[in-house]
Structure 1
Amino acid sequence: MKFRYALLAATVLAAPVAISHAANAQPVTGPYVSLGAGYNMESSQKAKNIVHGNTVTSDTARIFTNNGYDINGAVGYGFGNGWRAELEGDYISNGFNKLRVNGAGDASRGYEGRYGVFANAYYDFDIGLPYLFPYVGAGIGWQEDAFNGLNAGDYSFDKTRGSLAYQGIVGVSYPISFVPGLSATLEYRFVALADSRKFDGSFDGEPASMKVGSEYNNQINVGLRYQLFTPRPVPPAPAPVAAPVAAPAPAPAKTYLVFFDWNQASLTPRATQIISQAATDSHTQNVTTLDVSGYTDTSGTPTYNQGLSMRRAQAVAAQLVTDGVSQSEIEIHAYGETHLLVPTGPGVREPQNRRVEIVLN
């Protein structure tokens, strides 16, 4: 057990070095989908109340399985402040290895398959690194546990029983720079079936049954997570070329200010109204681009404020897309605690500096 944990820790620490060129990590905002798979290590299961015919015996048993695999897929929603909620479906498979009754073991055939759903909650941590986003999560759900052709000695079981299930998750995500919204994930999961299950079968041709206790699984998974409706990053502007004839002066840009609560990137009802007005005006005027620039006040560290200003700008951009603005027309900028609207010293919570500016060009 300790070796597996050490291996997981070493993998987590080494992974950032291999992908240090990845895009800046940001909290998930809006809907997303994910898919993962990995290695499943199942604990042995204890069985009791073994029945032969109509006789309850004092026999006890241990069911041992080989290491197997698991796959999972989920749809979820990120709230832009680090919290996420999702609905997940999964499948776990392990081949049977041995059935040991009263200390005597027989090699077994068949496999155990579990499948079901979980409702999960996650929190993503912003630790100030541009390529690494750790997270923790927990879930509760229901799993169907299928004994498929468990045959060992004179015993045979081939049944499916359900159980309440729960899980704990620790992971890290790595944004992939060339696909906006896509992140690779590495996770450790602890998955458990909370209820005992009664399985019917046969012993030497006669009816038999046994009651199997709780089950625990340790999993190491890799996967991909894709955030939908992610505005594409703005490429560097090409060097200007001198025009032979002076171009007419452009129309003055129109600016909208969206303000935020302290240390928040979620939109207030008033902010939603302002964004809606900006989206409407962009359709009725000759607008080619919408500059969306995020700012913070001077409370907090510069590194944290830089990330917070980006989350605010992304939240506004996502709402503009919801209000009908094309993603290709949106350019996102994050300026942190620079360019203060109201000049202050460090560590000052100034409401007018916690803003996003939408400029119609």
Structure 2
Amino acid sequence: MTLRKAALAATILSLPLAAQAQPVTGLYVGAGVGANFRLDADGDYSRSLVATPGRVTNTATGRAQVSTDPNIMGLFSLGWGFGNGLRAEIEGNYRTNQVDSATIPGRPRSSSSPWLNTYGAMVNVLYDFRMGWPVVPYIGAGVGYGWNEIEKGASFGFPSTQTKGEFAYQGILGVAYELGSMVPGLALTLEGRYYATLDPSFKDASRVSPTVSQQSYWKPKNENVSALIGLRYALYTPAPPPAPVVAPVAAPALARTYLVFFDWDKYNLTERARQIIGEAAGASRKVQTTRIEVAGHADRSGTPAYNQRLSQRRADAVAAELVRQGIARNEIAVSAFGETRPLVPTADGVREPQNRRVEIVLK
């Protein structure tokens, strides 16, 4: 795989992750529905019958034991994302559960099944954990005010609907799967919630006959566990950062200087030397070249006069090979420097392989 193809592949593979990495920024709305499981609504209970003019004729006190069936819940939220994973929102919610069984002090079992409803408003703070996964986990907590309601509660001594408001609090654990490829800013959410209020105190006084009134009191627990599915839509979703521009990979620049080395006291060309001369000849056709300089050199193992002649023979051998490979002789300038321009400085008489060379320079 070429460098360019590898860069393009890395860019393409990074695009989905770049889209997922966009945090919620600005205004968003959300909604969810699901199942609500109200934990046992046990609580202190009392009932008194009072005869006119205020004489108590019958009293029953104790602890009511009440369980409910699972039922539905729903919520709507309006929030703001700060672009760093942190979100704040206001929420309206509703939960309802029907009593499944109840043991009430001083009252016979009844086929009547009251409804226990809760609705309220919350302020929540949440945090999204963006870890490059297909889903985004988040946690949250909220406080607010919830209204507890008992409906159709005659069997509990509450013939009319009773409503009592209390402080409410909740914890939130969820994951969001972003659907930005379908609708920018849209996400599917799955949540588990724990919601509770302080125990409400229901009180009622009603006449059961012209001369007898009934006074009822019940303080049940209100704790709920909910599982819900929902949608969240960010009204402003910033465009993902543009994909990095992959610069075209430049072709390696052709060399303009080539070195041909020789064995000691030799000027004949080896196979490797012919290959280097061929590369120089090929490059001269691809770059702007007006002249090819061929300069011969020798080491200091002989006399200066001998080394001058040897460097000339080496330069002539290289020039002849260039001509054989298609370069016109009049384009080649040949010179010889003997031992006067060593590549590696040495003492006199030293055999240095790198000084036994011909330099080909494309001008």
TM-score, normalization: structure 1? Answer: 0.54
Counterpart of 1:162 in structure 2: which amino acid?
G
- Gaps of at least 5 residues in structure 2 are 1-15, 51-55, 244-363
1:222 aligns with 2:229: yes
C-alpha distance in 1, partners of 2:226/2:242?
A: 40
Superposed, 1:78-227 pairs within 5 Å as 78-102=81-105, 105-129=109-133, 131-152=134-155, 156-176=159-179, 177-200=181-204, 206-227=213-234
Q: Which runs of 5+ in 1 are unaligned?
A: 1-19, 237-361
Q: How does 1:182-331 map to 2 (within 5 A)?
A: 182-200=186-204, 206-232=213-239
How many residue pairs are counted as aligned between the two chains?
A: 217
**Change in 2 beyond 3 A, CA 1:226/1:146:** same
Change (3 A) 1:151 1:166: same
Against the structure 1 CA distance between its residues 154 and 33, is the aligned structure 2 distance closer, same or farther, given a 3 Å change threshold?
Answer: closer
Structure 1 residue 228 displacement after superposition = 1.0
Provide the residue aligned with 1:45 in structure 2.
41
Residue 33 of structure 1 aligns with which residue?
A: 29
> Counterpart of 2:112 in structure 1: which amino acid?
S
Structure 1 residue 151: Cα displacement:
3.2
Deviations 1:41-70 (A, max 9, x none): 011212324122345532321222221111
| Paired AA for residue 230 in structure 1 | T
Deviations 1:73-93 (A, max 9, x none): 011111111111100001111
Deviations 1:287-344 (A, max 9, x none): xxxxxxxxxxxxxxxxxxxxxxxxxxxxxxxxxxxxxxxxxxxxxxxxxxxxxxxxxx
Shift of 1:232: 4.7
Q: Which residue of 2 aligns with 1:274?
A: none
- Using the alignment, how far apart are the partners of 1:61 and 1:202 within structure 2? 20
Partner letter of residue 87 of structure 1? Answer: I
> How big is the shift at 1:201?
5.5
Return the letter of the residue paired with 1:78: G
Are the aligned partners of 1:162 and 1:197 in contact in 2 as well (CA < 8 Å)?
no
Q: Aligned partners of 2:196 and 2:46: how far apart in 1?
A: 23
Q: Residues 49 and 66 of structure 1: is their aligned pair in 2 closer, same or farther, counting only changes over 3 Å?
A: closer
8 A Cα contact 2:147 2:163, kept in partner: yes
Tell me how far apart the structure 2 counterparts of residues 64 and 218 of structure 1 sit (CA, whole Å): 14
> Superposition RMSD on alpha carbons, in Å?
2.9
Cα distance change of structure 1 residues 61 and 202 upon mapping to structure 2, 3 Å threshold = farther
CA, structure 1 residues 146+97, in 2 after alignment: closer, same or farther (shift >3 Å)?
Answer: same
Residue identity in the other structure for 2:63: T
Partners of 1:40 and 1:92 within 8 A in 2: yes
Q: 2:156 and 2:205 mapped to 1: Cα distance?
A: 13
Larger Rg: 2
2:41 partner amino acid: Q
Residue type of the partner of 1:151?
Answer: A
Query: 1:174 corresponds to which letter in structure 2?
Result: Y
How far, CA to CA, are the matches of 2:98 and 2:196 in structure 1?
18
